[in-house]
Amino acid sequence: MRLLLVILAGLCWMIGLSPIAAAHEVNPAFLELTETESGQFDVVWKQPIKDGRRLKLDPVFPEDCEASPIALEGAVGAVVSRWTLSCALNEGEIRVDGLDRTLTDVFVQIHRIDGSVASVVLKPAAAAFELGEETSSAPLLAYFRIGVDHIIFGYDHLLFVLGLCLLVRPAQLLLTVTAFTVAHSITLGLSTLAGITLPGPPVESVIALSLILLSREAITLQRGGRSLTSQYPWAIAFGFGLIHGFGFAGALADIGLPKDQEIWALLLFNLGVEAGQVAFVIALAVLTAGLTYVARNWLSRGKIAAAYLVGVSGTIWLVERVVAF
């Protein structure tokens, strides 16, 4: 009965945090202006979608700018608008109305006809900038934070790491997590830079299925049985890490990468993912050490409860994702 209460408490905790997670998982918007001839810009405006609707964000340009009719097109996780803008964009302000009512950012890039590129990141607390104050590094650095957010608020990836921690000894943990890291870095790079992709729904379903497998293996091990995953944890971590990498790539594709800086943006995103992953593993290690010190008898029960939490969550997500095909 106590075990059941622990599981239910964990599920309630996750459900209770889901609105926060959903808010943080909203991808940034992207505004790109490319000068095709003097005083003429092609504009690409990518608005993220949340709960089936695009965020109410509207870019506003200096008063002397004239815009052509807007053409809309669909994209995965976003709505893309295209139009042309007639003005020099040498002075004045660019702002995004409605940004202060969201938790997302806006990446802005201005490509000049002379080959120069100016960039800035707009945030809810700073939704405007003066032309001429752009930088070249701000959007790149933002990819690191996006990577951290994606792993910390991506419960399926975190629960997979939790499942691995339940299955391996401390001496094996470094090799196992490294195998997972190397694997998802490979597929993230191949998908983003080489265009090798898999359909999103099957990938997300296999990720959910991987949680069910780890849950079953962890419960078997905690009850004294033999676990194949615990014998070859690095191989399991590497295999499923390849699939998780395609999941990371899908999230990154929704955002887009800055032109001529794809490799740096990808590297920073991946480093952000790894930083969040390491922070999570350290937090688990501290929690386990604390339980071992103050409540050793509860440690085994806590591990079984955590394994059930991984499995129940994976089952729920698997059903949701298969139904969404």
* 48-62, 84-98, 118-132, 289-303: range with highest mean pLDDT: 84-98
Of 221 and 82, which is predicted with more confidence?
82
pLDDT at 19 exceeding the cut of 50 = no
Of 145 and 67, which is predicted with more confidence?
67
Question: Residue 61's pLDDT band (boundaries 50, 70, 90)?
Answer: very high
Residue keyed to tokens 């938790």: 103
Domain ranges of the chain: 30-136, 144-323
Give the per-residue pLDDT at 5. 42
Give the per-residue pLDDT at 74. 62
pLDDT digits (tens, 9 = 90+) for 113-161: 988 878 788 889 999 999 876 655 556 777 888 888 788 877 888 899 9
Give the per-residue pLDDT at 151. 84
Q: Pick the closest to residue 154 from 74, 245, 78, 80 (CA basis).
A: 245
Give the per-residue pLDDT at 261. 75
Residue keyed to tokens 């993912």: 273
Using DSSP's 3-state secondary structure scheme, residue 54 falls into strand
Q: At what angle do helices 296-323 and 155-167 cross, to 10 degrees?
A: 140
pLDDT at 284 exceeding the cut of 90 = no
Q: Where are the beta strands (DSSP E) in the chain?
A: 29-37, 40-50, 53-54, 58-60, 66-67, 71-75, 78-86, 93-97, 106-111, 117-122, 128-130
Extract long-range pairs of 231-236: CB within 8 Å, 24+ residues apart: 233/164, 233/167, 233/168, 233/172, 233/175, 233/176, 233/179, 234/172, 234/175, 234/176, 234/178, 234/179, 235/179
State the pTM of this model: 0.71
